[in-house]
Structure 1
């Protein structure tokens, strides 16, 4: 497995459809044989990450610095932090995948696909020079490849060509 796993951020304003787009991109990437990691940014502290009342939920609330849940088909880590870690630190912990997708992190310096909907936002959430594409419900006057929000195959073709040459 490569040490230099490519990172691509899916960015946009709140409610633009970032998660919805990821829900379409990931199965198509998997269908094409790629292993994918996702890092989701949640800008507010105290997000619920487990079902209230379960054993892991109770253990996380004890104040343990690290709690790991192991099941036959997954491993989940909860790691207490004083501050949000840099994205590069989280990326460095991920192995055994072909591509790391992030949701959010619009201020980070990774290549991006911006999800843009009219009329919710006229401005972009990121700088055009950081974009490899825009997924939108309308055409924007920008020199960046643009795709319809439902053109999953076209977006994955671009991701494959840009990051996943085998």
Structure 2
């Protein structure tokens, strides 16, 4: 790589695009990375760099947590984490807890209906679109959003569960199923708890995939202990 870079600089070609075309490069969509918009910035001038550093300083001054406990459920696709959470939420509700759940999606998604008013507002360029009825409400941010900042906006619940966000800063519960043929997505000792159908020795809190009640009890105690 150094030889290619030296050769290009000596030729007077300063375009990074041309350099990348000569290298073996793996391209990753920023949208698929946790906190991708903050990890990658396109900076071309001194003024842009100054603006970036000033904004970064402001971000660092903000708290990185919300007062509401957050627990991330992490597993490879096909493990059954959505089904597990679907069974877990009623158990937590039965214990008197108000629950929020946020799913990480590595792809583009749309929840608007084509031609509806909210869809028309979004297509017109609205940065945030809201919809409120007598029974529910939704707020759609039509822009890149930092997960930590987004979760801070959630209020009036006792526990926030997230599905995914493997790289996020929150405590994690890992689900692992032997039948998927995939390795564990995290080290057991890094996890708050592990839910699996195989023996786990390196984590204090281990449950089977059928121990929904025990998992709910564990989370209930966890909330009480950190309150």
* In structure 2, distance between residues paired with 1:163 and 1:88: 19
| 5+ long unaligned stretches in structure 1 | none
What does 1:45-124 align with in structure 2 at a 5 Å threshold?
46-81=108-143, 83-85=144-146, 87-124=147-184
CA positional deviation for 1:58: 3.9
Q: TM-score, normalised by structure 2?
A: 0.64
Give 1 or 2: higher helix fraction.
2
| 5+ long unaligned stretches in structure 2 | 1-65
Q: Which residue of 1 aligns with 2:206?
A: 146
Higher CA-based Rg: 2
Paired residues, what number? 161
CA positional deviation for 1:47: 0.7
* In structure 1, distance between residues paired with 2:86 and 2:148: 23
Task: Evaluate the alpha carbon distance shift between residue 58 and residue 122 of structure 1 in structure 2; reply closer, same or farther with a 3 A threshold.
Answer: same
- Tell me if structure 1 keeps the 8 A contact 2:72–2:165: yes
* In structure 2, distance between residues paired with 1:127 and 1:75: 38
CA positional deviation for 1:110: 1.1
Task: Evaluate the alpha carbon distance shift between residue 71 and residue 118 of structure 1 in structure 2; reply closer, same or farther with a 3 A threshold.
Answer: same
- Tell me if structure 1 keeps the 8 A contact 2:196–2:207: yes
CA positional deviation for 1:141: 4.0
* In structure 1, distance between residues paired with 2:205 and 2:95: 22
Tell me which of 96, 118, 121 is aligned to 1:33: 96
CA positional deviation for 1:148: 1.4
Q: Which residue of 2 aligns with 1:162?
A: 222
- Tell me if structure 1 keeps the 8 A contact 2:191–2:203: no
Task: Evaluate the alpha carbon distance shift between residue 58 and residue 17 of structure 1 in structure 2; reply closer, same or farther with a 3 A threshold.
Answer: farther
After the TM superposition, which parts of structure 1 deviate over 4 Å for at least 4 consecutive aligned residues? none
* In structure 2, distance between residues paired with 1:142 and 1:53: 53
Task: Evaluate the alpha carbon distance shift between residue 65 and residue 117 of structure 1 in structure 2; reply closer, same or farther with a 3 A threshold.
Answer: same
RMSD: 2.0
Q: Which residue of 2 aligns with 1:6?
A: 69
- Tell me if structure 1 keeps the 8 A contact 2:132–2:138: yes
